[in-house]
Amino acid sequence: MPGLLFFLDHAGPQLRSCSGRIMLKATNLHKYYGSFHALKGFSLSLNQGEVVALLGLNGAGKTTCIRILTGYMLPSEGEVTIDGQDVFGSPVEIKEKIGYLPEVPPLYPELTVEDYLRFIARMRGLPEHDFEAEFLRVTEITQLEKARASRIRHLSLGYRKRVGIAQALIGSPPLLIFDEPISGLDPRQIIEVRQLIRSLAGKHTVLISSHILTEVSRTCDRVVVIHDGQFAGELSGDMEDLEAKFIALTEKPVLEVGK
């Protein structure tokens, strides 16, 4: 795995010098659910072509953050840009740049894999005459070629995750965002999905959220820790070192910043 940085900076992540452009930048995100302050000034920056993990305990704010980054939910405060465009000011254009896989893939179990991906292609505005080539491309990447005529309800969880990733790939969006892509998978399926996500590096910028340290450390270029709704640090080192650092970052609430 490429060398990762580890540092504690409760004011937010520090910007890195990089020859590539910034694909995603979130600044000072706050989110309130009534009186509950779910995100407390969280910031994040992804360079083009990176595979980055957003790692945190259950309830740390990962899913809230992902929903804001994809434009699914408005923040109470803060800004998000994707490829230099404001997510909330240009919602239609931005959604063309994102392939999104929620934790529970948005599948229709009564459809075949082909019919479902054809539906998604239409939703994304892909011309009908381009569907066959695009179908072959995404099913080759996700190894779904033999499941073309299978009804989604008959697929294993691992294959349903693959279908979810395939729908996110349609149209080749530059940014892929996967929320807990390996949750519920068995060890073999985890390895297969890990290899699949890693193969997307360079061609796409990938952000995955997870609470499983061992897997994201093997999959991602960088591991960003979110804790108590805030940026808490980044991780590097061998597994024993990573575990100790993660525990240190998440053993108590961090100081609230921004608002």
List, for the chain, all residue ranges whose pLDDT scores fall below the cut of 50.
Answer: 1-19, 257-259
Tokens of 76: 């109470």
What pLDDT, on the 0 to 100 scale, is given for residue 2? Answer: 40
Q: Which two tokens stand for residue 122?
A: 């239409």
Nearest to 164 by CA among 210, 105, 205: 105
How far CA 125 is from CA of 85, 141, 173, in Å, comes to: 20, 21, 13
User: Quick one: pLDDT at residue 238?
Assistant: 75
Give the pLDDT of residue 254: 55
- Domains annotated for the chain, with CATH where assigned, are 1-97+173-251 (3.40.50.300), 107-172 (no CATH)
With tokens 């952000």, the residue in question is 207
Q: Which two tokens stand for residue 79?
A: 């800004």
Backbone angles phi, psi at 185, to 5 degrees: -85, 155
- The answer to whether 225 and 249 have CB atoms below 8 angstroms apart is yes
50/198 Cα distance (integer angstroms)? 10
Q: Which pLDDT score is estimated for 253?
A: 62
| pLDDT for position 255 | 53
Q: Which helix (H) or strand (E) holds 57?
A: none
Could you tell me which of 92, 112, 93 has the C-alpha nearest to residue 166? Answer: 112
Distance CA 150, CA 132 (A): 17
Question: What predicted TM-score, i.e. pTM, was given to this entire model?
Answer: 0.86
Q: How many CB atoms lie within 10 A of CB 40?
A: 22
What does the pLDDT look like over 145-169, one tens digit per residue? 999 999 999 999 989 999 999 999 9
